[in-house]
Amino acid sequence: MEKVFPSGFRSSRRHFLRGAGAATLALSPAPAFADAMTKLPLPGGPDERPITTAFPQKGAVILQRTRPPLLETPFEVFDQSVLTPNDRFFVRWHWAVIPTAVNVDTFRLTVHGHVNQTLSLSLNDILALPRVELVAINQCSGNSRGYFQPRVPGGEWSHGAMGNARWTGVRLKDVLDRAGVKAGAIQVRFNGMDEPVVPDAPDFMKSLEIDHARDGEVMLAYAMNGAQMPLLNGFPLRLIVPGWYADYWVKMLNDIEVLDQPDTNYWTTTAYRIPDTPHANVRPGETGVKFVPISRMVPRSFITNIKEGDTLQVGASTLARGIAFGGDSGVSRVDFSSDDGKSWHDAALGTDEGKYSFRQWQHRFTPPAKGAQVLKVRCTNSGGEAQPDMPNWNPSGFMRNVIERTAVVVA
Amino acid sequence: MGRVLLPIALVAGVVFAPVCTRAQHPLSLKSVSVDLPPGADMFPNGPGADAVNNNCLACHSADMVLNQPALSKAQWQAQVNLMRTAYKAPIDTKDVDAILDYLVSIKGGK
């Protein structure tokens, strides 16, 4: 409880972390056990999940679904570093036909549609483009779905369908410029090498507006945290859409189509939609609500070193620490409460790794009296948006960002 | 399929900025070939288990269903419909009732 972040908490940590990003990967823990179970405190259950080490290029992760893989990052990983190690980074695939081999010599990325010239780019062509890096959070739209009440069907995630990585690759803008986007282009559609088992099922594709695609931040990444990206995270190329939910971050990207008409594919027009209401919140069963595509992320924060049910010592100086993120903007402040939200205290923030990154925070407090208590943490982003007091609800279990509570016992 | 570490200089040498930063160093990527767990476990025995095994396991492993919370029959009906209409699961019409009854029997709500 008394130790600070294993990775340190000094602002001078920047250079250490940059070197450590790669080193952490090489040394990342990979417990030998394969059959252990973990408990996710999902209301009503089932709450048991296997911890698995059976997936390639992956260490110990929570098995949500074997095929196509849904692998969750165990929550304690978020206490260990601001960057999520590649081998613990969550995995989510839609369709079960996933290429299990990538040949870096024969792979081609096709860029076509409303462009001056169709491109077929090798990985060497892409490596020859200006290389860029960005730290950004990749979070599933349905992260924490298992905490929705009433419960909703879907991947029953705890809070580990997210991760933060330093992505290395090229700007999408540079690739599009090389093809030459024609006047009248309105969207860009992205397709990966995964395929549905049933041939006439909708292939997984996502689209971005043309200006978003050309904003200079959206990337095609081939490496994360200083190492070649694991296949299950999208190697050889993954679309990086900073500040937006992970459904847009198309994996094994091999086809980019510039459109002069709106994309009407299933995954853009029908799936991944949220109520067009504050916090994407509706009452269960509510009808007549307009739905819109999910897009920008919203602020969240977590305590990572104190777990639900932990015992704290009365009168003892106690360190709480964790991570926060602003969503589509940076972290402005993090407030901590050790009395169920009656009083809030400004937490110290760790190194700023960029507005799309996790931001570590910490706060020292002294529990004054014995008994049950609730710890809370609240992030306010640089746009002034704070986490809400009340949980949202929608039929797909998307976009949870309520102030989370950690019930403890002071003894 | 060994993990290829980029030169440390790549991550250590760039100037920090909240948006993309440039870094130009030699970099090579390696071909990769992996095996994925088959996820071939069958559903627990019970009335309708054959219909579920025959119609559901082509696209996803059983754990997806077994990890779901208790859902009402109407919610399960909606899920089966979603699989058939949106995701084109070729479920034989005569199996639909058996699948639904099985799902309600193992994961039924109020």
- Per-residue pLDDT reduced to its tens digit, A374-402: 999 999 999 999 999 999 999 999 999 99
User: Is there a contact between B3 and A228 if contact means CB atoms under 8 Å apart?
Assistant: yes
Q: Which residue has the tokens 């823990």?
A: A29
DSSP string, A369-400: SSEEEEEEEEEEETTS-B--SS----TT----
Residue B26 pLDDT: 58
pLDDT of residue A6: 41
Average of per-residue pLDDT across A326-349 = 98
b/e map A258-287, b = 16+ CB within 10 Å: bbeeebebebbeebbbbbeeebbbbeeeee
Contact A227 B6 (CB under 8 A): yes
Q: What is the pLDDT of residues A25-45, one digit of tens each?
A: 333 333 334 469 999 999 999
Query: CA angle at residue A273 from A267 to A276, to 5 degrees?
Result: 150
Q: Which of A25, A131, A215, A238 to mutate to test the interface with B (most CBs of B within 10 A)?
A: A131
CA-CA distance, A275 to A397, in Å (whole number)?
11
| pLDDT at site B27 | 76
Q: How far apart are CA A170 and CA A239, in angstroms?
A: 10
B27, B87, B88 member nearest A127 (Cβ): B27
Tens-digit pLDDT profile for residues A152-203: 999 999 999 999 999 999 999 999 999 999 999 999 999 999 999 999 999 9
Look at residue A277 and give its three-state secondary structure: coil
Asked if pLDDT for residue B108 goes beyond 80, the answer is yes
> pLDDT tens digits for A143-157?
999 999 999 999 999
Decide if A222 and B8 are in contact by the 8 Å CB cutoff. Answer: no
Q: Which of A259, A224, A220, A212 is closest to A239 using CA atoms?
A: A220
> How far apart, in whole angstroms, are the C-alpha atoms of residue A171 and residue A213?
9
Predicted pLDDT of residue B24: 52
The tens digit of pLDDT for each residue in A287-298 reads: 999 999 999 999
Distance CA B103, CA B32 (A): 39
pLDDT at position B17, please?
40
Tell me what pLDDT residue B22 has: 53
Rounded to whole angstroms, how far apart are CA atoms A16 and A245?
Answer: 29
Question: Which stretches of A265-330 are assigned E, i.e. beta strand?
Answer: 273-275, 291-293, 300-303, 311-312, 318-325
Tokens of B36: 């994925």
Exposed / middle / buried, residue B42 (Cβ in 10 Å: 0-12, 13-18, 19+): exposed
Is-contact A365 A345, C-beta < 8 A? yes
**Residues B94, B96, B99, B102: what is their CA dihedral angle, to the nearest 10 degrees?**
-90
| Beta-carbon separation of A134 and B21 below 8 A | yes
Question: Which residue in the block uniquely carries the two structure tokens 């767990």?
Answer: B37
The closest of A90, A103, A260 to A165, measured between CA atoms, is A90
Is a pLDDT exceeding 50 seen at residue A302?
yes
CA dist., res. A208 & res. A186, Å (int)? 9
**Which residues lie closer than 8 Å to A234 by C-beta, 6 or more apart?**
A192, A221, A249, A250, A251, A252, A253
Assess whether pLDDT exceeds 60 at residue A1: no
pLDDT in tens, A113-143: 999 999 999 999 999 999 999 999 999 999 9
Q: Can you tell me the distance from the alpha carbon of A374 to that of A180, in angstroms, rounded to the nearest whole number?
A: 56
pLDDT of residue B23: 53
Q: Do A103 and B31 touch (CB under 8 A)?
A: yes
* pLDDT tens track for A199-239: 999 999 999 999 999 999 999 999 999 999 999 999 999 99
Number of H helices, E strands in chain A: 5, 27
Contact across the interface for B5 and A156, Cβ inside 8 Å: no
CA quadruple A290, A291, A297, A303: dihedral sign: positive
Q: Do β-strands A61-65 and A70-72 pair in parallel, antiparallel, or remain unpaired?
A: antiparallel
A21 pLDDT above the threshold of 80: no
Q: What is the pLDDT of residue B10?
A: 40
Which of A127, A200, A330 has the CB atom closest to B88's CB atom?
A: A200
Chains A–B, number of C-beta pairs less than 8 Å apart: 183
**Mean pLDDT rounded to a whole number for chain A:** 92
What kind and span of H or E run contains A339? none
Q: Name which of A2-11, A23-32, A43-52, A359-368 the model is least confident about.
A: A23-32
Tell me the HSE value of B80 on the side-chain side, using a 13 A CA sphere.
23
Stretch A3-28: mean pLDDT, rounded? 36
Residue A316 has pLDDT above 80, yes or no: yes
pLDDT of residue B109: 75
Q: Is the pLDDT reported for residue A347 higher than 70?
A: yes
Report the residue count for chain A: 411
Q: Tell me, what DSSP letter sits at residue B5?
A: B
Q: How confident is the model at residue A349 (pLDDT cuts 50, 70, 90)?
A: very high
Instruction: For helices B93-107 and B73-85, give the axis angle rounded to 10 degrees.
Output: 140
For residue A131, give both structure tokens.
């290389």
Element holding B9 (H helix, E strand): helix B8-12
Q: Do B39 and A66 touch (CB under 8 A)?
A: yes
pLDDT tens-digit profile of B42-61?
999 999 999 999 999 999 99
Of A19, A44, A98, the CB nearest to B69: A44
Q: Render pLDDT for B68-106 as a digit per residue (tens, 0 to 9).
A: 999 999 999 999 999 999 999 999 999 999 999 999 999
Of the CA atoms within 13 Å of residue A182, those in its CB half-sphere come to: 14
**CA separation for the pair A240, A170 (Å, rounded):** 10
Question: Cβ neighbours of residue B76 under 8 Å, at least 6 residues apart?
Answer: B100, B103, B104, B107, B108
The identity of residue B93, as a single letter, is T
A268: nearest Cα among A179, A347, A188 = A188
The whole-number average pLDDT for the span A307-322 is 98
Q: Is the peptide bond before B37 cis (omega within 30 degrees of 0)?
A: no
Would you state the pLDDT for residue A176? 98
Contact list in B for residue A67 (CB cut-off 8 A) is: 36-39, 60-61
